[in-house]
Structure formats: structure tokens, C-alpha cells
A and B are shown apart, each in its own frame.
Chain A
């Protein structure tokens, strides 16, 4: 177990190193940030001076190693556009995306898993068929369209929910959160629902497929023959047996939503990192792009690692050493 964890940490470091090189070279290949930094009418002297100040006249490898050295000290550079340290900038936007992602993914799991288990338990019932029909919509209708429909319906026509922004926030642990105020929550509801829709469909279908399979197994037959109630069979046996694929998808969806909530954040003007990255790509804000992509890689590695640990907790057959 310990060697496994150590091995994973070494692997993660290697992946991060490769990722940093790829990202740095990739971003370097796009456009010239100098044109963004200074006006077209400044003199050649100032232009050269600016290039030298940002180290852009050095060879690529030297720039990379300078960058790497600074990263190791926790310094991702300063944003060209905002003029503030990149890490500070990203961290100021991260809570907004984080609370939206948690609301969407946890909400999707809390609704999708029971709905899927029910649909798998009573596959021929009308409710199960309705659930499955909705889940097909969740897969096939594009997110941006659902977002627009949600705004049209609840914000424009019914006027019961706000169309965008974070609303009021309250501080917890020195960070501003929307979910702590009623107004913030009402602002969160639409974008979270929008983000959750696809995940909801995915969780439902996975839970249904797993349940249908497990319901036919001898484990369930034996449990029933021992007189266990259907509720106990579902809660104690089925849920545990279908949890591994669900946890896998939960982790992957959590990571990808955290990293790529761009569309929804744009539609609902949610000031999260998705919106930040779109803005920084448009303005060729290199340090922000690099730091963001590094962060994404880090988030994926961390979540995969946590999912692996969850496997060990959920399936005793994966644990070694005993038996």
C-alpha cells in the first residue's frame, strides 16, 4: 500500500514535469504577447526593453528553465493583463468554479444514482421508462442550448431566478462563497442545473446498467432467500456492488467540470476560472494559460489518485496482504 502510494506520487511528478514542458512549448507557439502588452505606436526602444524585461529574447529552453525554477518556488509569474501574480488570480476565481462544480456533480449523483437504481430495479415501469427517456435528452442536447433555455424560461419568462452573476457572497475561511447566502444560492441554481444535466444522464444510465446486472446475480437471490427486504437488498448489496464504476465516473466528471466549465460559466457570466481562461486566451495572457493548464493536470492527477484510494476502500479484493 505504502509503496503503491509512493509510486503514484513519483508518477504524478513525472506527469507534471512532462505537462509543464508541453504546455510551455504549446503556448509559446501561439501568437506574440508583446503586441498585447504594448501599444502599436510605442517606440522601438521601449518595445525591445519590454521584450527583455519579460525575458522573451532568450532562447526557448532558457525561458523554460527560468519558468520551471520559479514554479518550484511557487511563482507562476504575473498576468500580463491584470498585472497581479497568476496564482493569486487563479485562486481568487477558483472558489466560484469549485462551488458550482460540487453543486453540479454531487447533485447529479444524489439524483442520478437513485433514479438509475430504480430504473434498473423496475425496468418495465412507466417511471423507469420516463427516467431513461430524459437521460437520453441529457446526452444528446448540447449544454449551451439547455443553458439558454433555462435562462429563457426561469429568468426571462417566469422571472423567478437571476440570469447571471454570482449574487451575494459571504466569507468562509477567508474566501467568498455564493452558497452561503440565499441570493447567491438562487444565482447558483441555474448554472449548476445546466452543468449537472449531462452528468445526471450519465450517472442514471450507469447505475441502471449496474443494477440490472446485479439484480440477476446469485448474491441478490441469496440475500432474498435469507429474507432480506428489497430495500435492504438495494441499499446494502446493490449500491455497494455498483459503486466502483460510479466512483470512477464521479471523479472524472468532477475533474473535467472543474477544468472545463467554460461554456456554462460564459452563458451565465459566472466569474470562475473557465471564464478567466477564455479571456486570457483571447488576450494572449501567457502566464495565466500556462498556470491554468498546469493546474488542470494537477487536478486530474489528484482526483484519479483519490478515485484509486476509493477503490481500495470499496473493494476489499483489491487490498493485498491479508488472506
Chain B
């Protein structure tokens, strides 16, 4: 122990005493942190990294509690302190920033009120003084026009601005340590890059120490001097950032790094050595055959499609608008005259930040939304009918969504979820259903015996496999993947990407792969289209777009992606 140590965590254990038994979320963790030092705490979900952060300031909800070990802050033991004594430290000496500022800030209080509450927690303060401090605090985290922002509600700010407000609150009392729990995970890459840069500056300026908890090795690499890798409640490897990330000693650290698409040759399988899954069942054709389509026509075409979303208005309001008494309701042009052609068998990546219109475009391609203008055609045949209530005309296009927990019916056995579509469209009859479902479960790497289970009985990665089986059991030719790996851990993400690559080559699928993660798209797709504000600003072969971006936006986007230090060979 050096006398400069700010935080000394020794053999910390936090256990959750549940009915099913004791869960050792944090199981003997030790590390120390010097003043002004930035430490990255890396791990996958369930590794105990967040619980470690909460344990330090005694914010563990029952049935969990700190079961053993010691946490010393400036030499003072924190475990065993009374709640009031801990409260006096929280926000003042140690503060926290969380993942999603939309969830952490109170939606019904103004920014100013929330800052005032945080100020009042540690000292008496008048309303005018609180307001002045709030404006100062907002200015410190580089929020433009803090005098106006202080009276805003959280929903009136963008995601990046909201996170800045949360950081401003964390900085109010000049803490010695800030614990950041996935602070940039919910943000777009360009916003993430800004916040990372600002955090680095602030920390250097104020001499605050930082514990940066994240699942993302690359963001940690760009801010931390020191990294600890956690797995199953234990720190498996710890050391200076460059050493850990370029010369990993522990096999788990190595596996985490190998699972990253950015560190592997595009198009190759990640994390080699996996057991191959069963082959998918043979192609079936529906009882009622669809029109074959024109083989000579370009395979999949989005022809000048646009989508405008209107806010619904009442009849009186509509009348007032007609008479010019009210301003017309706001409409959003989510996709603005986009044309794309995808040849058979190609994987096209669609990248862009939130609000760029990539998901809306994907949904029009999938026949979920009817375009406001333009058409979508597969082999020359329209994907949707026109008229008052447009209907999807083909089963040859299917979609895999981001969140399988939201897209699978929670009250339906997964076997029924998978067979529902094929049965309805006459791909299989009742007698064949069970075998068909089992074949598909095997093909996506699940035990065929799980067909009778419900979605909540699966992990996130397994649920995404079910969702893939459900989409592919419809025997599509074209699959739209909308952020299919965005909510998964890197090792699970690697498995799902491998699965998609394998099934794509075995089934000869054409893919449209929508993602905010540029490295995943680079790995999976031959061609990339970059979307910005509803338009495609750049399109071309993946290697060319990534290595020689032409459009300014693409350049900015690529520059914002945090990069891992190259591995030492």
C-alpha cells in the first residue's frame, strides 16, 4: 500500500441471499486506486462489475449485502458504516454516473430542480445560489446555453446532453472518486467520443479518480490507465491498460479480445474451436406458391422510398389547420428518397446513428412499414401491396429484431413460435411440425428438446438463436437483421455472428444487416451503406468505405470509433 492510495478494496465479497441459494456476485475482489487515476473495470453481463461499483458506496439492495472484505477510502473503512454515514459520502466524496440518463434523471423534475436536490443533500443552500451553481455545473460539462437548459426537463435534451447533466450532478461537490457504470453504452459513437474526451479532460483538470465500468474493451482502452478484467465475481487479470490489452495473460481476457470482430479478418469465424451446429433442414416450398418473379430483374430493389411519420391530430385541430388558425402538425421524414439495389447472395450493411432512419428503412424493406413514396421489389415483385391498408405479399423476406425478449411472445412455447408461421403458410403440416422445429433448433445450436420452453427460460443469446430459427423457418431468401447483436455480450455476439455467417452460406441467403456497430458490419458485410438524417450519404464495398471514406459524415463516424491498441504478436 502506498500512501497515495485513494481507494483500497481488499477481498470484497457481495452476496445475494435468494430463495434459490446464495449468489456470489462479487467474490473476493481486490484492487487499489491512486488519486486521479482512471481504472477500467471490464467484464460481460453477470461478471459482477456493476455490483462491485455499488458495493463501494454501500448501495446494494436486499437481498444482497456486502458479506466480507474491506473498502478503504482515504484510509477510512467504509464497510460496516451506518447508512447515514455512507449517505454523507455519496455524491460528496464518491459519486456515480449510470448507463442510461433517460432512466436515471427524473422525467418530471427540471434539470435545475434535480441539481438543487443534489446540492441540498450536502449543505443548506438558497434557491438563487442553487440556480447559480446549477448553471455553473452545466457550463462545466460544456452544455451550451446553461441558463436555458437549467429549466428544461430531461426529455427535452438529447441523449448526450442528458448524460452531461448526470455528469454535472456527479461533479457538483468535487468528489475524489467517480464510479461510472457503462456511461456511454446507450450513446451513439460520435456522442460517446465527445463524452470520453470531455471526461478525460475533466478528470485531468480536477484530479478526480475514476472507475470506468464497461463491457466494451475499446472505450476502456481509450480512457483508462489501468484495467481489471472480471469474470464470475472475480478479477481474473489486472494491470496497466496496454499490458492487459496487448499481452493478455489470462485465457478469458484473450477470448474476450478474440471475440471482437475488429480484431479478426472480415468474413472469418470468430473464436475458433467452437463445436459446429447441425445443418439446417432442406429447403421447402409453400403449398400455395408465390409468383416466381422475373429472374432477369435486379434481385432486391428499394426504389426511391421515403417514409414520413405524422403525429395524429384531432378533427378540430385538422379543421383549424385547414383554416390556417393552427400550425400544421409536425411530421418527420424518417427516410428521404433512398434507392438501393442488393444482388442475390450479398450481405449489405446499413450503418448510421440513432435517428438516422436505418431501422425505418429496414422495416420498409421487410414489408413492415409501407413506404410513403417509392416501392420495394424482390425479383421484380412488390413486397407490399398498395392501397388503403397495404399488406405484405411475400414470405420470402423475414426480419430478425434486436430484442428477442420483446419480439417473442412470452406466453407461447418457443416451438410454437417457430412453427406458427410455417404452419400458417402451409410449409409444413401438423405431422411434420415437431420434426421441423427440432431440425431448426439444432441448426441454430440449441438442444431440440427445449421446444416446449418459454422465452424467459433462455438467456439473451439463446433467445436470439430462437428468433433466428423463427425467421429462417419461414424459408426466406432475404433476411433483414435489425441490430441482432446489439444487446449481447461480446462472446455471445461472436457466436451469433458465426451462426449468421454459417447459415447465410449454407442457405444462400441475402442479408441486409442494420447496425450502429461499424466493426460488426465490417466483419459480416461485403458492401456498406451509410445513413445520415434519412439519406444514404455513402455506399460501396466495405473495404473501400472503411479505408477511404469519401463523405465527411462517414469520416467523422469512423474517427469516433474507439480503437483498441494493436495486439503484440
A and B part of one assembly: yes
Interface string of B113-124 (1 = CB under 8 A from A): 000011011100
Out of A216, A236, A322, name the residue touching B109 (CB < 8 Å): A236
A-B contact count (CB 8 A): 108
Q: Which A282-322 residues have C-beta < 8 A from chain B?
A: 314-317, 322
Give bound CA distance, A236 to B89, whole Å.
Answer: 21
13 other contacts beyond A226-B95, A228-B87, A236-B117, with CB at 8 A cut-off?
A4-B314, A218-B100, A226-B90, A226-B91, A228-B118, A228-B121, A232-B120, A237-B109, A240-B106, A241-B108, A316-B110, A323-B155, A323-B157
Q: How far is the CA of A316 from the CA of B109 in the complex (A)?
A: 8
Are B108 and A240 in contact, with the CB atoms below 8 A?
Answer: yes
Shortest beta-carbon distance from A232 to chain B in Å: 6
23 A-B pairs in the complex with CB atoms less than 8 angstroms apart? A3-B316, A3-B320, A218-B100, A219-B104, A219-B105, A219-B107, A221-B96, A222-B169, A223-B117, A224-B90, A225-B96, A226-B96, A226-B118, A226-B169, A227-B88, A227-B89, A230-B83, A237-B109, A240-B106, A315-B107, A316-B153, A317-B155, A323-B153
| A222 interface neighbour in B105, B108, B157, Cβ under 8 Å | B105
| A189-248 with Cβ < 8 A to chain B | 216-219, 221-230, 232, 236-237, 240-241
Main secondary structure of the interface of A (DSSP, over half): helix
* Residue interface bits A143-179, CB-to-B below 8 A is 1, else 0: 0000000000000000000000000000000000000
CA of A229 to CA of B91 in the docked complex: distance in angstroms? 11
A7 located at the interface, meaning its Cβ lies under 8 Å from any Cβ of chain B in the complex? yes
B414 at the interface (CB under 8 A from A): no
Q: How far is the CA of A322 from the CA of B154 in the complex (A)?
A: 12
Is B317 close to A, CB under 8 A? yes
Q: Which residue of B lies closest to A228 (CB)?
A: B121
B99: chain A residues at CB < 8 Å are: 218
How many A residues, CB 8 Å from partner? 31
Are B61 and A216 in contact (CB-based, < 8 A)?
yes
B92 touches A227 (CB 8 A): yes
Q: Is A126 interfacial (CB 8 A cutoff)?
A: no
What's the least CB distance linking A301 to chain B, in Å?
17
Interface size class of B (residues with CB under 8 A): 35 or more
Does B511 count as interface, using CB distance less than 8 angstroms? no
Neighbouring A residues of B152 by C-beta, 8 Å: 323
Contact flags B62-100 to A (C-beta < 8 A → 1, else 0):
100000000000000000000100011111100110111
Cross-chain contact A218 with B61 (CB below 8 angstroms): no
A10, A222, A223, A226: most-surrounded residue (chain B CB, <10 A): A226
Q: How far is the CA of A315 from the CA of B91 in the complex (A)?
A: 27
Q: Is B170 an interface residue (CB 8 A)?
A: yes
Please state if A316 and B104 are interface contacts (CB–CB under 8 Å).
Answer: no
Q: Which residues of B contact A6 (CB under 8 A)?
A: 316
Complex Cα gap A4–B118 (Å): 36
Q: Roughly how many angstroms separate A10 CA and B315 CA in the complex, as a whole number?
A: 11
Give every chain A residue within 8 A of B120 (Cβ-Cβ): 232
Asked if B103 is an interface residue, CB under 8 A from chain A, the answer is: yes
Task: Look across to chain A and name the residue whose beta carbon is closest to the beta carbon of B86.
Answer: A227
CA distance A317 to B102 in the complex (A): 12
Question: What residues on A are CB-neighbors of B118 within 8 Å?
Answer: 223, 226-228
Q: How far is the CA of A10 from the CA of B156 in the complex (A)?
A: 31
Q: Which residues of A have CB within 8 Å of B59?
A: 221, 224-225
- Give Cα A10–Cα B100 distance, bound, in whole angstroms: 42
Query: In this assembly, does B127 line the interface, its C-beta being within 8 Å of a C-beta of chain A?
Result: no
Alpha-carbon separation in the docked complex, A241 to B57 (Å): 25
